[in-house]
Amino acid sequence: MPSSSDSAVDQQPLTKLPAAPWSRQLSLASAPAYAAALESACLSIGALVVALVLFGIFVAVGGHDPLAVYGALYLGAFGTRFSIEGALTQASPIILTALCTAVPARVGLLVIGGEGALVLGGLCAVLCATASAGAPGWIGALVALLGGTCAGAAWIGAVGALKQWRGVNETISSLLLNYIAIALFNHLISGPIRDFSQTLKATSWPVPPAFGIGSIPGWSVHWGLVIGIGLCIVLFVVLRYTTLGFSMDILGGNRRAAQVAGLPIGRLLIVACLIGGGAAGLAGAIEVLAVHGAASESLIVGFGYTGILVAFLARQNPLAVIPVALLVGGISASGGLLQRRFDMPDATTQVLEGLIFICVLASSAFAGRIRWLAR
Amino acid sequence: MTASGIGWYGVALAIIGGALRVSTPYLFVSLGEVLTEKSGRVNLGLEGILLMGAMTGFAVGSLSGSPWLGVLAAGGAGALLGLLHAGICNLPRVNDIAVGIALFLFGMGLAFYLGKPFIAPRAAMLPALQLGAWSNEPAVRAALEISPLFLIGIALAIALRWGLANTRWGLVLRMAGESADAARALGYSVNAIRTLATMCGGFLGGIGGAFLSLYYPGNWNEGLSSGQGLMAIALVIFARWNPLRCLWASLLFGGASALGPALQTVGVTSGYYLYSAAPYVLTLALLVYSSSTRHTLAGAPSELSISR
B129 touches chain A (CB under 8 A): no
- Contact state of B234 with A176 under an 8 Å Cβ cutoff: yes
Residues 139-168 of B with CB under 8 A from A: none
* Nearest-angstrom CA–CA distance, B194 and B188: 11
Q: Dihedral of the CA atoms A303, A304, A305, A311 (nearest 10)?
A: 100
Which of B 40-99 lie inside 8 A of A, CB atoms?
Answer: 44, 84, 88, 91-95, 97-99
Q: Enumerate residues 171 to 200 of chain B having a beta carbon within 8 A of any beta carbon in chain A.
A: none
Residues 238-267 of B with CB under 8 A from A: none
- End-to-end, the C-alpha distance of chain A in Å comes to 34
Question: CB-based contact (8 Å) between A183 and chain B?
Answer: yes
Closest Cα in chain B, distance from residue A374 (Å) = 21
For chain B, say whether A19 makes contact (Cβ under 8 Å). no
- 10 Å CB burial of residue A35 (0-12, 13-18, 19+) is middle
Q: Do A167 and B292 touch (CB under 8 A)?
A: yes
User: Which residues of chain A make contact with B281, given a CB cutoff of 8 A?
Assistant: 180
Low-confidence ranges of chain A (pLDDT < 70): 1-33, 370-375
C-alpha distances (whole Å) from A224 to each of A94, A102, A113, B3 are: 11, 19, 21, 50
Please tell me the CATH code under which domain B3-290 is placed. Answer: 1.10.3470
Query: What domains lie within chain A, and their CATH numbers?
Result: 36-374 (1.10.3470)
> Burial level of B295, CB count in 10 A (0-12/13-18/19+)?
exposed
Predicted local confidence at residue A31, as pLDDT: 54
The answer to whether the Cβ–Cβ distance between A191 and B270 falls below 8 Å is yes
Cα angle value A294/A295/A296 (rounded, 5°): 115
Q: Which residues of A touch B272 (CB under 8 A)?
A: 187, 190
Shortest alpha-carbon distance between residue B86 and chain A (Å): 11
Q: Which member of B99, B110, B287 has the closest CB to residue A351?
A: B110
Does B308 lie at the interface with A, CB-CB under 8 angstroms?
A: no
Flag if B273 and A190 touch (Cβ within 8 Å). Answer: yes
Contact B191, B94 (CB under 8 A): no
DSSP 8-state code for residue A222: B
Distance CA B139, CA B144 (A): 9
Q: What is the mean pLDDT of each run of 10 residues along chain B (308 residues)?
A: 58 84 93 96 94 95 91 97 96 90 93 87 78 78 84 96 95 94 94 96 96 88 83 86 94 84 74 82 86 78 78
Is residue A261 within 8 angstroms of chain B, CB to CB?
Answer: no
Q: Which of B104, B119, B282, B284 to mutate to test the interface with A (most CBs of A within 10 A)?
A: B284
Residue extents of the structural domains in chain B: 3-290
Q: From A58, which residue of chain B is nearest by alpha-carbon distance? A: B110
| Rounded-to-10 torsion of CA A259, A103, A150, A212 | 170
Residue in A closest to B304 by C-alpha: A169
